[in-house]
């Protein structure tokens, strides 16, 4: 391999794929970044065996010149070094030694044998199973992923369930205390269901370009491939059956309160601050009492009590009720909604309640289970 | 106590003193913030018993009104809550309960008994032992504090030695592998020497306003008081004798190389990136070979080798020498200097070398011990 490449093109390519590379991976070759030069393109791959990024850079004779095709696996430290270069970079492979030169800096780097780097599955780039706008995928992730369980007690709950059925594509996520759900139009002609690790979706969300469409390829049962332009993300799926969440969501309500989302959120955060040192992992318990206005309050024996009043826009149904819930869960749910007003749908003080936007381009809801208080 | 105060004035005052407050301090009252209202001023104190901040706010009848003087110790969570308020705040003490109100938010907070809050020593505000410009103090700290030892193996080396003697005020700091030293004019008429914890200086540097003069009060042997405007910092000194560093610093040199600081630093950081995974706590070993130009190189068996060439401006004395040193130490030292050019003063490959700015408003130097290589 012998190539010349613009320093920021190389730096950008390495940064795109290194997000999944673990410098302490117990398979040494996965500590490196795979790089292949053909006469048409450069291919970069970073992998931790469960997740992989692949990025393509075209050979344009200007930013990238290939004198001799070839492949190698670079040590991860190259990324840090290349980032600091200010001039074009020449890379030349001599056996297992990579000669890297830029300006008056020269490196002889030990590389790994590229044949030993795990192969990524092939897929037909034109034949995606479905696609959606980058901004839509990002919003779907934002409105569901946070509700995934942190702990591995029930591994399936660390994932987000993507369900394609008829006209409807649904993403749903629950840690069994709260649930986020969004539906958009299904662009696939197949009925499919997978559970994607929430952490993988988060990584994807931080790396993909929101301006580009995202194509999703479903070639095998245990892996999903996402593509945005020249960047491809391979993600291993979670095994197991996702719980049926449809029966959890109430359809009728005793009361529906329309309230300004931002004002409600701000006041909850003020009241929650006081309860924060008595943290039970739920970020303090908040009590909501509705009777002419929405009164939010919190009490901890150690700090004292706080109370704040927010006027609602409208209220239908029961006009005097009380419910207690986790401060963290309601704050997360309110932040996942974008609309100016939300509808707070109450169904009894020991029943889950819903938060939905009053207007949204998505069919979406947030469900939170109440906290039992005396 | 009964007062009304502008929300951002209160928030600002609490933020100024809370930097030393530890919400998990084993003396419960030190988890809180002391607040006293007189007819002339409000006083806020945060303390962890070794370090304390005190801040004064004048009663101006506009931002601050005092209806009834008094004192209390607020729980620390108040800071977080007050930060979010957007309206004037009323505080009223009823026994040990503080009634706090802003807009439509009301809190009943448990407070501590203010009599039990540790007293801070008095000092005559007009009679400071010495003073210096805020920017000068900040520069003095920046050029020395980083060289303090992290570990408590020799506790005295976690401090910075401030030495007032005759016309000269000197700050010096060493962890026994490197040393930073700065001298300015002594504004005190006394000869004094103290060792201030480097971490305390760092806190002070982040909190004090650089635009104001800093007055230093030396009232007792084990404490130093810093004042910048209305903000006072009380800091316990380290006990013990600081090592005599004057004999460590060579006066004659075999070679003096003048070199562009930023270029030298950038190239060292490039080369150092490659050695970083073989981290021995010194951030990789860098070798400097001077022979017509300055060649920086690094080698690790795992990653390979890197080499970069920087032209020097001028060289006096020996024109062919080699020395190895810690990448971290030289980067820290080069960053502590502000000038465009530095002088690299070499005295033999196993002898400490100096870095000094070619022009500076301070008398300053950085000393680094070399690393023994085969």
Query: What digits encode the pLDDT tens for the residues A134-168?
Result: 999 999 999 999 999 998 889 999 999 999 998 99
What residue ranges of chain B are covered by domains with CATH 3.10.150.10?
Answer: 2-116, 130-245
A3 pLDDT higher than 90: yes
Close Cβ partners of B186 (under 8 Å, ≥ 6 residues apart): B130, B164, B165, B166, B167, B168, B169
- Chain B residue numbers touching A302 (CB-CB < 8 A): 75, 110
- Average per-residue pLDDT in chain B? 93
Q: Are strands B341-346 and B255-260 parallel, antiparallel or unpaired?
A: antiparallel
Please check whether residue A329 is in contact with residue A368, taking contact to mean a CB–CB distance below 8 angstroms.
yes
What residue ranges of chain B are covered by domains with CATH 3.70.10.10?
Answer: 249-368
- Chain A residue numbers touching B277 (CB-CB < 8 A): 23, 75-77
Tell if the CB–CB gap between B107 and A266 is shorter than 8 Å: no
Please check whether residue A301 is in contact with residue A349, taking contact to mean a CB–CB distance below 8 angstroms.
no
Report residue B78's pLDDT band, with 50, 70 and 90 as the boundaries. Answer: confident
> Tell me, what's the pLDDT at A302?
82
B254 or A273: which leads in pLDDT: B254
With both helix axes pointing from N to C terminus, report the angle between B134-144 and B198-207 in degrees, rounded to the nearest 10.
Answer: 140
**CA–CA distance, B163 with B194 (Å, rounded to integer):** 7
pLDDT single digits (tens) A38-96: 999 999 999 998 999 999 999 999 999 999 999 999 988 888 888 889 999 999 999 99
Tell if the CB–CB gap between B108 and A23 is shorter than 8 Å: no
> Tell me, what's the pLDDT at B277?
52
> Tell me, what's the pLDDT at B278?
47
Q: Which CATH number fits domain A130-246: 3.30.70.1290, 1.25.40.10, 3.10.150.10, 3.10.450.50?
A: 3.10.150.10
CB-closest option in A23, A85, A107 to B304: A107
What is the DSSP track for A173-207? EE-SSEEEEEEEE---SS-EEEEEEHHHHHHHHHH
Shortest Cα distance, chain A CAs vs residue B274, angstroms? 6
Residue B336: strand, helix, or coil: helix
Q: Computed over its alpha carbons, how large is the radius of gyration of chain B? A: 25
Please check whether residue A114 is in contact with residue A34, taking contact to mean a CB–CB distance below 8 angstroms.
yes
H runs (alpha helix) in B23-164: 77-83, 134-144
Q: Please, which residues bridge with residue A169 across strands?
A: A164, A184
CATH code, B130-245 = 3.10.150.10
What does the DSSP 8-state code read for residue A148? S
Tell if the CB–CB gap between B106 and A308 is shorter than 8 Å: yes
- Chain B residue numbers touching A276 (CB-CB < 8 A): 77, 80
A111 pLDDT higher than 50: yes
- Cβ atoms within 10 Å, residue B107: 28
Shortest Cα distance, chain A CAs vs residue B287, angstroms? 14
Report residue A326's pLDDT band, with 50, 70 and 90 as the boundaries. Answer: very high
Tell if the CB–CB gap between B75 and A108 is shorter than 8 Å: no
pLDDT single digits (tens) B84-128: 899 999 999 999 999 999 999 999 999 999 999 999 998 998 889
B275 pLDDT higher than 80: no
Residue A138: strand, helix, or coil: helix
As a whole-number percent, the residues of chain B with pLDDT over 70 amount to 97
- Cβ atoms within 10 Å, residue B252: 7
The closest alpha carbon to B310, from B371, B354, B266, belongs to B266
Report residue B75's pLDDT band, with 50, 70 and 90 as the boundaries. Answer: confident
Number of CB pairs, chain A paired with chain B, less than 8 A apart: 110
**CA–CA distance, A47 with B214 (Å, rounded to integer):** 54
Please list, residue by residue across B112-143, b when 16 or more beta carbons sit within 10 angstroms of its beta carbon and e when fewer do. Answer: bebeebeebeebeeeebbbebebebbbbbbbb
> Tell me, what's the pLDDT at A282?
53
pLDDT single digits (tens) B325-362: 999 999 999 999 999 999 999 999 999 999 999 999 89
DSSP 3-state percent helix, strand, coil across chain B (nearest 5): 25, 45, 35
What residue ranges of chain A are covered by domains with CATH 3.10.150.10?
Answer: 2-116, 130-246
Tell if the CB–CB gap between A110 and B303 is shorter than 8 Å: yes
> Tell me, what's the pLDDT at B374?
56
**CA–CA distance, A6 with A59 (Å, rounded to integer):** 11
> Tell me, what's the pLDDT at A374?
57
**CA–CA distance, A154 with A150 (Å, rounded to integer):** 10
Please check whether residue B75 is in contact with residue B32, taking contact to mean a CB–CB distance below 8 angstroms.
yes
Shortest Cα distance, chain B CAs vs residue A28, angstroms? 11
Residue A205 sits at φ, ψ, to 5 deg, of -60, -35
Mean pLDDT of A166-183: 95
Please check whether residue B36 is in contact with residue B115, taking contact to mean a CB–CB distance below 8 angstroms.
no
Residue B332 sits at φ, ψ, to 5 deg, of -55, -45
Residue A220: strand, helix, or coil: strand
Q: Please, which residues bridge with residue B45 across strands?
A: B34, B54
Residue B111 Cα distances to A365, B17, B28, B29, B147, angstroms: 41, 17, 11, 9, 41
Structurally, what CATH architecture does the domain formed by A2-116 represent? Roll (3.10)
CATH code, A249-368 = 3.70.10.10
Please check whether residue B42 is in contact with residue B57, taking contact to mean a CB–CB distance below 8 angstroms.
yes
Tell if the CB–CB gap between B307 and A105 is shorter than 8 Å: yes
Tell if the CB–CB gap between B307 and A277 is shorter than 8 Å: no
- Cβ atoms within 10 Å, residue B242: 19
Tell if the CB–CB gap between A277 and B309 is shorter than 8 Å: no
In chain B, the residue whose alpha carbon lies closest to the alpha carbon of A304 is B109
Mean pLDDT of A241-263: 94
> Tell me, what's the pLDDT at B282?
53
Tell if the CB–CB gap between A104 and B309 is shorter than 8 Å: yes
**CA–CA distance, A331 with A337 (Å, rounded to integer):** 10
- Residues of A with a Cβ under 8 Å from any B Cβ are 23, 75-78, 80-81, 84-85, 97-98, 103-110, 266-267, 269-271, 273-274, 276-277, 302-310
B174 pLDDT higher than 50: yes
ipTM: 0.84
């Amino acid at each position: 391999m012998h190539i010349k490449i613009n320093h920021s093109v190389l730096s950008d390519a390495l940064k795109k794929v290194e997000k999944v590379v673990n410098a302490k991976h117990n398979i040494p070759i996965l500590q490196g970044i795979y790089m292949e030069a053909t006469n048409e393109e450069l291919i970069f791959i970073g992998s931790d065996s469960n997740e992989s990024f692949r990025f393509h850079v075209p050979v344009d004779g200007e930013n990238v010149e290939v004198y001799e095709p070839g492949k190698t696996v670079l040590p991860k430290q190259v990324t840090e070094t290349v980032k600091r270069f200010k001039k074009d970079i020449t890379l030349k492979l001599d056996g297992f030694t990579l000669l890297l030169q830029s300006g008056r800096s020269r490196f002889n780097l030990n590389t790994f044998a590229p044949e030993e780097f795990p192969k990524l599955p092939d897929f037909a780039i034109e034949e995606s199973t479905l696609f959606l706008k980058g901004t839509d995928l990002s919003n779907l992730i934002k409105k569901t992923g946070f509700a995934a369980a942190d702990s591995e007690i029930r591994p399936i709950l660390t994932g987000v369930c993507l369900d394609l059925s008829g006209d409807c594509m649904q993403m749903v996520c629950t840690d069994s205390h709260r649930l986020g759900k969004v539906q958009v139009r299904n662009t696939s002609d197949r009925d499919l269901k997978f559970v994607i690790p929430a952490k993988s979706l988060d990584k994807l969300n931080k790396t993909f370009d929101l301006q580009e469409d995202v194509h999703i390829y479903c070639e095998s049962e245990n892996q999903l491939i996402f593509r945005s332009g020249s960047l491809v993300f391979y993600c291993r799926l979670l095994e197991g059956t996702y719980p049926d969440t449809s029966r959890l969501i109430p359809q009728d309500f005793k009361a529906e309160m329309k309230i300004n989302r931002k004002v409600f959120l701000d006041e909850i955060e003020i009241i929650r601050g006081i309860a924060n040192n008595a943290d039970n992992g739920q970020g303090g318990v908040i009590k909501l009492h509705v009777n002419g206005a929405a009164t939010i309050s919190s009490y901890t024996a150690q700090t004292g009590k706080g109370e704040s009043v927010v006027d609602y826009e409208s209220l239908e149904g029961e006009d005097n009720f009380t419910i207690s819930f986790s401060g963290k869960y309601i704050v997360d749910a309110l932040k996942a909604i974008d609309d100016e007003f939300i509808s707070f749908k109450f169904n009894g003080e020991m029943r889950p309640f819903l938060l939905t936007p009053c207007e949204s381009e998505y069919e979406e809801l947030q469900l939170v289970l109440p906290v039992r208080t005396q």
